[in-house]
Amino acid sequence: MGKNLATSTTTFFFCDGGSCQKAGSEIVTRNARAYIRNNNLWNKTHTIKTRCNGRCEDAPTCIVQSGNYWYKHLTASKIQEIIESHVNEQKGVTPYLLYQDNWDKVISEKEIKPFKPKGFQHKNDVDLGMCCITKGFSSDQYLYPLFLFLLQTKSGAVLQLNNGELLDFKDLVAVKYEDPYAITLEFTHNKTVQLIIGFVPKTEPIELVQQKISSTEYFRLTSSGEKGIRFKNKIGKTVAIIKLDSTKNTIWNYCLNIQLGGILEPHINETNG
Protein backbone atom coordinates (compact mmCIF):
# COMPACT_ATOMS: atom_id res chain seq x y z
CA MET A 1 0.00 0.00 0.00
CA GLY A 2 1.29 3.45 -0.86
CA LYS A 3 1.83 6.01 1.85
CA ASN A 4 -1.09 8.28 2.70
CA LEU A 5 0.41 11.63 1.75
CA ALA A 6 -2.51 13.45 3.40
CA THR A 7 -1.02 12.59 6.81
CA SER A 8 2.57 13.42 5.89
CA THR A 9 3.69 16.85 7.07
CA THR A 10 7.45 16.65 6.41
CA THR A 11 9.36 15.29 3.42
CA PHE A 12 13.08 14.51 3.39
CA PHE A 13 14.81 14.47 -0.01
CA PHE A 14 18.11 12.58 0.27
CA CYS A 15 20.58 13.19 -2.54
CA ASP A 16 21.74 9.94 -4.12
CA GLY A 17 24.16 11.42 -6.64
CA GLY A 18 27.68 10.09 -7.07
CA SER A 19 29.43 12.52 -4.71
CA CYS A 20 26.86 12.00 -1.97
CA GLN A 21 27.09 8.24 -2.34
CA LYS A 22 30.86 8.41 -1.88
CA ALA A 23 30.36 10.61 1.19
CA GLY A 24 28.00 8.13 2.85
CA SER A 25 24.50 9.16 1.78
CA GLU A 26 23.21 5.59 1.84
CA ILE A 27 24.13 5.20 5.52
CA VAL A 28 22.41 8.51 6.30
CA THR A 29 19.25 7.49 4.44
CA ARG A 30 19.07 4.03 6.03
CA ASN A 31 19.49 5.46 9.50
CA ALA A 32 16.90 8.15 8.84
CA ARG A 33 14.31 5.61 7.72
CA ALA A 34 15.07 3.29 10.62
CA TYR A 35 14.76 6.15 13.11
CA ILE A 36 11.48 7.26 11.55
CA ARG A 37 10.09 3.72 11.71
CA ASN A 38 11.15 3.03 15.30
CA ASN A 39 9.81 6.35 16.57
CA ASN A 40 6.38 5.87 15.01
CA LEU A 41 6.87 8.78 12.60
CA TRP A 42 6.28 6.83 9.41
CA ASN A 43 2.85 8.32 8.70
CA LYS A 44 3.97 11.86 9.50
CA THR A 45 6.98 11.88 7.19
CA HIS A 46 8.03 10.86 3.73
CA THR A 47 11.57 10.09 2.49
CA ILE A 48 12.70 10.29 -1.13
CA LYS A 49 16.01 9.58 -2.83
CA THR A 50 16.87 12.07 -5.56
CA ARG A 51 19.50 12.35 -8.24
CA CYS A 52 22.23 14.97 -7.87
CA ASN A 53 20.91 18.21 -6.37
CA GLY A 54 23.92 20.26 -7.43
CA ARG A 55 25.75 20.66 -4.12
CA CYS A 56 28.45 18.01 -4.46
CA GLU A 57 30.95 19.99 -2.36
CA ASP A 58 28.60 19.72 0.64
CA ALA A 59 27.94 15.98 0.40
CA PRO A 60 26.02 14.20 1.68
CA THR A 61 23.05 16.53 1.51
CA CYS A 62 19.32 16.50 2.21
CA ILE A 63 16.46 18.91 1.50
CA VAL A 64 13.56 19.16 3.94
CA GLN A 65 10.14 20.42 2.95
CA SER A 66 8.11 22.32 3.87
CA GLY A 67 10.28 25.37 4.46
CA ASN A 68 13.02 24.66 1.91
CA TYR A 69 15.78 23.66 4.34
CA TRP A 70 19.04 22.42 2.78
CA TYR A 71 21.42 20.40 4.96
CA LYS A 72 25.11 19.62 4.42
CA HIS A 73 27.75 17.08 5.51
CA LEU A 74 25.18 14.77 7.06
CA THR A 75 25.87 11.84 9.35
CA ALA A 76 23.61 9.23 10.95
CA SER A 77 23.51 11.17 14.23
CA LYS A 78 22.91 14.55 12.58
CA ILE A 79 19.94 13.30 10.58
CA GLN A 80 18.24 12.00 13.71
CA GLU A 81 18.54 15.41 15.32
CA ILE A 82 17.21 17.04 12.16
CA ILE A 83 14.20 14.71 11.99
CA GLU A 84 13.31 15.37 15.61
CA SER A 85 13.50 19.13 15.17
CA HIS A 86 11.38 19.26 12.03
CA VAL A 87 8.71 16.79 13.14
CA ASN A 88 8.39 17.88 16.78
CA GLU A 89 9.21 21.58 16.61
CA GLN A 90 8.75 22.45 12.91
CA LYS A 91 12.10 24.21 12.74
CA GLY A 92 15.53 23.64 11.28
CA VAL A 93 18.82 22.80 12.95
CA THR A 94 20.89 25.87 12.13
CA PRO A 95 24.45 24.50 12.64
CA TYR A 96 23.87 21.87 9.95
CA LEU A 97 22.13 24.12 7.45
CA LEU A 98 23.49 24.96 4.04
CA TYR A 99 20.58 27.20 3.15
CA GLN A 100 16.99 28.00 4.07
CA ASP A 101 14.35 30.37 2.79
CA ASN A 102 15.05 34.07 3.34
CA TRP A 103 18.81 33.61 3.71
CA ASP A 104 20.73 35.89 1.38
CA LYS A 105 23.56 33.41 0.78
CA VAL A 106 24.61 29.78 1.00
CA ILE A 107 26.71 28.79 4.03
CA SER A 108 29.31 26.34 2.76
CA GLU A 109 32.86 25.64 3.91
CA LYS A 110 33.73 24.28 0.47
CA GLU A 111 31.89 26.62 -1.86
CA ILE A 112 32.83 26.15 -5.51
CA LYS A 113 32.20 29.10 -7.78
CA PRO A 114 30.03 28.32 -10.80
CA PHE A 115 32.18 27.36 -13.76
CA LYS A 116 31.90 29.57 -16.81
CA PRO A 117 33.53 28.70 -20.13
CA LYS A 118 36.56 30.75 -21.07
CA GLY A 119 36.42 33.19 -23.95
CA PHE A 120 37.31 32.13 -27.47
CA GLN A 121 40.99 31.50 -28.08
CA HIS A 122 42.81 31.94 -31.39
CA LYS A 123 44.35 28.56 -32.27
CA ASN A 124 45.82 26.54 -35.09
CA ASP A 125 43.87 23.33 -34.59
CA VAL A 126 45.27 20.10 -36.06
CA ASP A 127 41.97 19.23 -37.76
CA LEU A 128 40.16 22.56 -38.09
CA GLY A 129 43.09 24.80 -38.99
CA MET A 130 43.19 28.42 -37.83
CA CYS A 131 40.13 29.16 -35.75
CA CYS A 132 38.68 30.74 -32.63
CA ILE A 133 37.58 28.01 -30.26
CA THR A 134 36.31 27.44 -26.72
CA LYS A 135 35.16 24.47 -24.67
CA GLY A 136 31.61 24.15 -23.41
CA PHE A 137 29.92 21.61 -21.16
CA SER A 138 29.61 17.92 -22.02
CA SER A 139 27.15 16.57 -19.46
CA ASP A 140 23.74 15.31 -20.56
CA GLN A 141 22.23 18.31 -18.78
CA TYR A 142 23.65 20.41 -21.62
CA LEU A 143 23.84 18.05 -24.59
CA TYR A 144 20.27 16.75 -24.40
CA PRO A 145 18.82 20.31 -24.40
CA LEU A 146 21.17 21.19 -27.27
CA PHE A 147 19.79 18.45 -29.49
CA LEU A 148 16.21 19.22 -28.49
CA PHE A 149 16.84 22.82 -29.59
CA LEU A 150 18.20 21.57 -32.92
CA LEU A 151 15.04 19.47 -33.33
CA GLN A 152 12.91 22.51 -32.61
CA THR A 153 14.89 24.79 -34.92
CA LYS A 154 14.89 22.21 -37.74
CA SER A 155 17.24 24.04 -40.10
CA GLY A 156 20.56 25.81 -40.21
CA ALA A 157 22.76 22.88 -39.21
CA VAL A 158 24.27 19.69 -40.59
CA LEU A 159 25.65 16.76 -38.60
CA GLN A 160 28.93 15.33 -39.89
CA LEU A 161 29.75 11.90 -38.49
CA ASN A 162 33.30 10.62 -38.08
CA ASN A 163 32.92 8.53 -41.23
CA GLY A 164 32.19 11.67 -43.25
CA GLU A 165 28.46 11.08 -43.61
CA LEU A 166 26.35 14.26 -43.56
CA LEU A 167 22.85 14.49 -42.05
CA ASP A 168 20.78 17.65 -42.33
CA PHE A 169 18.97 18.63 -39.15
CA LYS A 170 15.95 19.64 -41.22
CA ASP A 171 15.43 15.87 -41.58
CA LEU A 172 15.61 15.27 -37.81
CA VAL A 173 12.23 13.91 -36.64
CA ALA A 174 12.87 12.83 -33.05
CA VAL A 175 15.39 13.08 -30.20
CA LYS A 176 15.10 10.33 -27.60
CA TYR A 177 17.00 9.98 -24.34
CA GLU A 178 15.53 6.77 -22.96
CA ASP A 179 18.73 4.74 -22.76
CA PRO A 180 20.78 5.19 -19.54
CA TYR A 181 23.71 6.61 -21.50
CA ALA A 182 22.84 7.14 -25.16
CA ILE A 183 20.80 9.78 -26.94
CA THR A 184 19.17 8.65 -30.18
CA LEU A 185 18.70 11.04 -33.10
CA GLU A 186 16.07 9.83 -35.55
CA PHE A 187 16.18 11.21 -39.09
CA THR A 188 13.95 10.54 -42.06
CA HIS A 189 14.45 7.39 -44.14
CA ASN A 190 14.90 5.33 -40.94
CA LYS A 191 18.36 6.78 -40.28
CA THR A 192 19.35 6.83 -36.60
CA VAL A 193 22.46 8.06 -34.79
CA GLN A 194 23.38 7.25 -31.19
CA LEU A 195 25.70 9.40 -29.10
CA ILE A 196 26.86 8.55 -25.58
CA ILE A 197 26.10 11.62 -23.45
CA GLY A 198 25.21 10.20 -20.01
CA PHE A 199 27.68 9.45 -17.22
CA VAL A 200 29.05 5.94 -17.79
CA PRO A 201 30.34 4.14 -14.65
CA LYS A 202 33.73 2.46 -14.89
CA THR A 203 31.97 -0.84 -14.20
CA GLU A 204 30.61 -0.75 -17.75
CA PRO A 205 32.65 -2.15 -20.69
CA ILE A 206 35.68 0.01 -21.48
CA GLU A 207 34.48 0.53 -25.07
CA LEU A 208 31.31 2.18 -23.77
CA VAL A 209 33.20 4.29 -21.22
CA GLN A 210 35.54 5.57 -23.92
CA GLN A 211 32.71 6.58 -26.26
CA LYS A 212 31.23 9.08 -23.78
CA ILE A 213 31.36 12.60 -25.21
CA SER A 214 33.76 14.37 -22.86
CA SER A 215 34.73 17.41 -24.93
CA THR A 216 32.33 19.84 -26.61
CA GLU A 217 34.04 22.65 -28.52
CA TYR A 218 32.47 25.67 -30.21
CA PHE A 219 34.51 27.15 -33.04
CA ARG A 220 34.63 29.67 -35.86
CA LEU A 221 37.09 29.15 -38.70
CA THR A 222 39.38 32.06 -39.51
CA SER A 223 39.42 31.69 -43.29
CA SER A 224 35.75 31.06 -44.05
CA GLY A 225 33.95 32.22 -40.90
CA GLU A 226 32.22 28.82 -40.71
CA LYS A 227 30.87 28.07 -37.24
CA GLY A 228 30.28 24.74 -35.59
CA ILE A 229 30.37 22.38 -32.63
CA ARG A 230 32.83 19.50 -32.31
CA PHE A 231 32.31 16.50 -30.04
CA LYS A 232 35.18 14.30 -28.87
CA ASN A 233 35.10 11.14 -26.78
CA LYS A 234 37.23 10.25 -23.77
CA ILE A 235 40.17 9.13 -25.87
CA GLY A 236 40.19 12.38 -27.82
CA LYS A 237 38.67 11.06 -31.03
CA THR A 238 36.17 13.25 -32.89
CA VAL A 239 32.74 11.63 -32.73
CA ALA A 240 30.82 14.20 -34.77
CA ILE A 241 30.77 17.85 -35.85
CA ILE A 242 27.73 20.09 -36.18
CA LYS A 243 28.29 22.56 -39.00
CA LEU A 244 26.18 25.70 -38.78
CA ASP A 245 24.75 27.72 -41.64
CA SER A 246 26.68 30.99 -41.61
CA THR A 247 23.64 32.89 -42.95
CA LYS A 248 21.47 31.91 -39.97
CA ASN A 249 22.40 32.95 -36.43
CA THR A 250 19.60 31.36 -34.38
CA ILE A 251 21.56 28.27 -33.34
CA TRP A 252 24.87 30.10 -32.88
CA ASN A 253 23.22 32.73 -30.65
CA TYR A 254 21.63 29.94 -28.62
CA CYS A 255 25.07 28.35 -28.20
CA LEU A 256 26.65 31.61 -27.02
CA ASN A 257 23.89 32.52 -24.59
CA ILE A 258 22.59 29.19 -23.27
CA GLN A 259 25.31 26.60 -23.77
CA LEU A 260 28.23 28.99 -23.09
CA GLY A 261 26.59 31.22 -20.49
CA GLY A 262 26.64 34.45 -22.47
CA ILE A 263 30.28 34.70 -23.52
CA LEU A 264 31.12 37.14 -26.31
CA GLU A 265 31.64 36.09 -29.90
CA PRO A 266 35.19 36.76 -31.15
CA HIS A 267 35.61 39.89 -33.25
CA ILE A 268 36.66 39.67 -36.86
CA ASN A 269 40.07 41.20 -36.16
CA GLU A 270 40.66 38.51 -33.50
CA THR A 271 40.04 35.74 -35.99
CA ASN A 272 42.39 37.35 -38.44
CA GLY A 273 45.15 37.14 -35.83
Domain map of the chain by residue range?
Answer: 5-99, 121-271
Q: If you average pLDDT over residues 184-212, what whole number do you get? A: 94
Tell me which CATH homologous superfamily contains domain 5-99. Glutaredoxin (3.40.30.10)
Please give the pLDDT value at position 3.
Answer: 79
Please give the pLDDT value at position 155.
Answer: 87
Does residue 270 register a pLDDT over 60?
Answer: no
Please give the pLDDT value at position 115.
Answer: 73
Secondary element (H or E) of residue 250: helix 250-254
Amino acid, single-letter form, for residue 260: L
How sure is the predictor about 272, in pLDDT bands with cuts at 50, 70 and 90?
A: very low
How sure is the predictor about 267, in pLDDT bands with cuts at 50, 70 and 90?
A: low
* Portion of the chain with pLDDT greater than 70, in percent: 97
Beta-carbon count within 10 A of 252 CB: 20
Dump pLDDT digits (tens) for 77-109: 999 999 999 999 999 999 999 999 999 999 999
Residue ranges of alpha helices (H) inside 39-109 are 76-84
Does residue 1 register a pLDDT over 90?
Answer: no
Across the chain, mean pLDDT equals 93
Q: Which CATH architecture has domain 121-271?
A: 3-Layer(aba) Sandwich (3.40)
**What's the predicted TM-score (pTM) here?**
0.76
- Buried-exposed string 30-65: b where 16+ CB fall within 10 A, e elsewhere: ebbbebbeeeebeeebbbeeeebbebbebbbbbbbe
